Amino acid sequence: DQQVKQNSPSLSVQEGRISILNCDYTNSMFDYFLWYKKYPAEGPTFLISISSIKDKNEDGRFTVFLNKSAKHLSLHIVPSQPGDSAVYFCAASYNFGNEKLTFGTGTRLTIIP
């Protein structure tokens, strides 16, 4: 049973526009969420995170929004750049410091020049 879902396997966005990647979860015990970015032939790299006590966290061009009632989070990238083309994974854990991250299946983002 997939507890963290990324329903869009792929997304194409024009350079300079906003990219919005979505993630849904089913387990209400999750209270810490992360986004990882993965380039081909490389391992995932941490991008941004958010605790359930917040509904927004911003880091430069990247903003993560959390809607606990809908069990939904999204990653916004503004403006999108060609180097943002990658696979994005969302992940969740039960509490900060928990070793066991549950990952989504990933969304491949392609930025069109």
Query: Interface with other proteins by CB under 8 A: which residues?
Result: 2, 4, 32, 34, 41-46, 49, 89, 91, 93, 96-106
Smaller CB distance to other proteins: residue 34 or 73? 34
Smaller CB distance to other proteins: residue 5 or 76? 5
What single DSSP character describes residue 40? Answer: T
**Lookup: tokens for 104:** 């989504």
Smaller CB distance to other proteins: residue 41 or 70? 41
Min dist CB 60 to other proteins, Å, is 17
Closest CA to 54 of 36, 74, 32, 71: 32
Min dist CB 79 to other proteins, Å, is 26
Min dist CB 81 to other proteins, Å, is 22
H/E element, 77: strand 72-77
Interacting residues of 29 by C-beta distance below 8 A, sequence separation 6+: 94
